[in-house]
Structure 1
Amino acid sequence: MSSQFRELLKKVGSGQHTKEDLTRTEAAMATKMMLLGEATAAQIGAFMIAHRIKRIAPQELAGMLDAYDELGPKLYPENEQEKTVMVFGIPYDGRSRTAPISPLTALILTCAGVGVIMHGGDTMPTKYGVPLIQLWQGLGLDFAQLSLEQVQELLKNSGLGFVYLPKHFPNADGLTPYRDQIGKRPPLATLELIWSPYQGKMHLVTGYVHPPTEVLFRETLKLRELTIPFTFVKGLEGSCDLRLSQTTIVAASSVNAPNGFEYLKLHPHEYGIDDKEMPLGSISELLSQMEALIEGKPSRLEQAAVWNGGFYLWRYGVCADLSIGLETARELLSSGKVAKKREEIRAAIP
């Protein structure tokens, strides 16, 4: 048993009236001890559930990210002039109700010359939804066996990189079983949304469900002194996917806004997008619809892919406004350029 970890556990788990937030240094220490297995299984499980009940504070999230930065995998830009990369923070436990389309968004972006990094693991508690790695594999792009050096090379050559926890960050993946055992998402699930393995210029994109989480993200970035462009999306099931059937609220960094960010309210009907989310049925059906769209055939995912692809092309700065972004996304899909990009990425995978 770690006596040092026990003291940190006592702070967060002492009850409603005596609980305390950890300092940034303490949170980093606790996270490192969990990742390195220096805390016992009983201590780790108790810490996760106690920390969830207490609710994570900005300085604690900053400290946890410090530990991930120290121990986790890292991808680097080729040079100081390297373009900004979009890093997507998508819930590791996936989606269970609506069809995810983030791989299509990534292909549209890379097709337009935007570098994209995603990260995640296998099927994960507590939702046990479809993980990103499974969707990429179903599209013929298997990142699971790549070394970190090969991911770095793939990012350089194709503009797309995927950090796969079981292969590239086994210490973090080793904490996954605790999610099932405690039956709740621990604060690590919040960390994963805002964590980035990229060490260069980035545009951070992440989804969230509850408004306080978006505030937590902004405060954490300030503590870490990260003045980076960000796009925080109140998306489908906490993902980065914009909604089709209703307005999506987005907290978007803006150099022109007094506080450095603004809230966007995106109404798809105002841009001629008139559709509903595709329910998530079988994975084979989802992949079939993705494949059809990539190949330029009719697909139930077309409107969702155009809406999301166009939005992120605009947010990155490829397109001057959202309307042009939508037109560009639609053209990239219909012209076969996205299909060609997929084949280019497939050819670059060893």
Structure 2
Amino acid sequence: MSKAFRELLKKIGSGNHTGENLTREEAAAATKMMLLAEATPAQIGAFMIAHRIKRPTGEELAGMLDAYEELGPKLQPKKGSNSSVKVLGIPYDGRSRTAPINSITALILTAAGVPVIQHGGDRMPTKEGIPLIEIWQGLGVDWTKLSLTETQQIFESTGLGFIYLPNHFPLAAGLVPYRDQIGKRPPFATMELIWCPYNGDAHIISGFVHPPTENMFRGALETRGFPQYLTTIKGLEGSCDLPRDRTAIIGIIKQNTELERLHLSHNDYGFSNINPPLFPTTNELINQIESVLKGEPSEMMQSAIWNGGFYLWHCGICPTMEAGIAVTKEIITNKNAAQKLEEIRGAIAALQLAYKT
């Protein structure tokens, strides 16, 4: 198969004058050959760096998603549930400058009855920032010990699921070392932001940094027939955490509709322009997150309310942004988000106890 892969590599790696984009089918084939290690290590590294230099097209991202859909894991809808699941796409290489808010947002949403799926792995090149998995571990929720079947049970009982690459998609985790070896994020890092490891009605909410990335997202989903509803957030460090130091730029793309652009200014809702910085240690970050869940005032609390207000409004729980902010304050003040965290901890503990006995 390495000979077949070589032809695809030649196509994207021939330079500006003779190089060509891959078709959706070719991109899917190349991705499968890399995931299954049918391409050689030299070919995989060469493909990743050549594709990064060329820049992927929407059609190529669609092919990558096809391969992930065929070979990757999926959580299943809860029986009898018609709820649209929110899949939060966040860079796998984590955060290094600003405090992550997304775990709090997930607790706020699930406390309000909105099911959420996150996905990612351990510390990852090139940023090696703090990943979601470490934050959840610090909060007493260890997704790394759960099989896909167990994760499905937790998702069904609590509304929150986490696809952990090393356990649930080891083929994809096997490509992670190449990121360190080539010293750059490959196009897979872009595709992962709109990957949907769920076999049901999904609403993908993805972070992005550069405007061309948003166009790639749209092109990929258009090619695939818009199987999901997409929201893009020009968020903190490429995440879907809304910033407070600038206007939040949001794109909303529903099936067969034009991009709807939304701009939200923190000033209009009484928030300051301070993004909480990343704390020096993970323990300090976890302590601050826990203080927010206890209802203790802080800049992180303000960011949690800012994000929670938007997401509750955007997900249809509240009719306006103002109402979303008010309900978020109630969820935090009444300890509903903290109770949801305890519920998830308890569900995992009960599951693990059942397996021991």
Query: How high is the TM-score relative to the length of structure 2?
Result: 0.95
Query: Does the 8 Å CA contact 2:274/2:299 hold for their aligned counterparts?
Result: no
Q: Comparing 266-275 with 10-19, which one deviates more in the overlay?
A: 266-275
Amino acid at match of 2:113: G
Q: Which residue of 2 aligns with 1:116?
A: 116
Cα shift at 1:80? 6.4
Give the corresponding residue for 2:162: 162
1:43 corresponds to: 43
Provide Cα deviations, 1:209-259, integer angstroms capped at 9, x if missing partner. Answer: 00011111111111111253221000011110000111010001368xx94
- Contact 1:275 / 1:303 at 8 angstroms: preserved in 2? no
| Contact preservation (8 Å) 1:290, 1:299 | no
Q: Which residue of 2 aligns with 1:295?
A: 294
Q: Distance in 1 between matches of 2:2 and 2:99?
A: 43
CA distance, structure 2, for counterparts of residue 226 and residue 198 of structure 1: 15
CA distance in 2, matches of 1:151, 1:116: 12
Is contact 1:207-1:233 (8 Å) kept?
yes
Letter in 2 for 1:332: I
User: Mapping of 1:63-142 within 5 angstroms?
Assistant: 63-79=63-79, 81-142=81-142
- Letter aligned with residue 110 of structure 2: T
Match of 2:272 in 1: 274
Please give the secondary structure, in 1, of the residue aligned with 2:299. coil
Deviations 1:100-128 (A, max 9, x none): 11000000000000000000000000000
Give 1:275 deviation, angstroms: 4.2
Q: Does 1:263 align with 2:261?
A: yes
Determine if contact 2:151/2:161 at 8 Å carries over to the other structure.
yes
Bigger mean CA offset, 224-233 vs 198-207? 224-233
Unpaired runs of 5+ in structure 1? none
Secondary structure at 1:286's aligned position in 2? Answer: helix
Letter in 1 for 2:272: D
SS across alignment from 1:25: helix
Question: What's the CA shift for 1:81?
Answer: 4.5
Q: Which amino acid aligns with 2:345?
A: R
CA distance in 1, matches of 2:258, 2:110: 27
Output the amino acid matched with 1:119: H
For 2:106 and 2:288, the matched residues in 1 are separated by: 16
Deviations 1:10-67 (A, max 9, x none): 0000111111001111100000000000011000000000000011011110000000
Distance 1:80 1:45 in 2: 45
Q: 8 Å contact 1:289–1:300 — kept in the other structure?
A: no
The SS at the match of 2:16 is: coil
Does the aligned pair in 1 maintain the 2:95–2:129 contact within 8 Å?
yes
Report whether the alignment pairs 1:59 with 2:52: no
Contact 2:246 2:273 in 1 (8 A): no
Task: Give the equivalent residue in structure 1 for 2:311.
Answer: 312
- Residue-by-residue CA offset, 1:68-108 (whole Å, 9 max, x unaligned): 00000011112464210000010000010111110000000
Any residues of structure 2 matched to 1:121-270 within 5 Å, and which?
121-253=121-253, 259-270=257-268
Q: Provide, for residues 163-218 of structure 1, a one-character-per-residue CA deviation record: whole Å limited to 9, x for no partner.
A: 00000000100100000100000000001100010010111100000001111111
Amino acid in structure 2 at the alignment position of 1:294: L
Q: Which amino acid aligns with 1:297?
A: E
Aligned match of 1:7 = 7
Contact 1:121 1:165 in 2 (8 A): yes
Q: Which residue of 2 aligns with 1:343?
A: 342
TM-score in terms of structure 1 length:
0.97
- Per-residue CA deviations over 1:279-308 (Å, capped at 9, x if unaligned) read 113222111110111122233311100001
Equivalents in 2 of 1:54, 1:22: separation in Å?
11
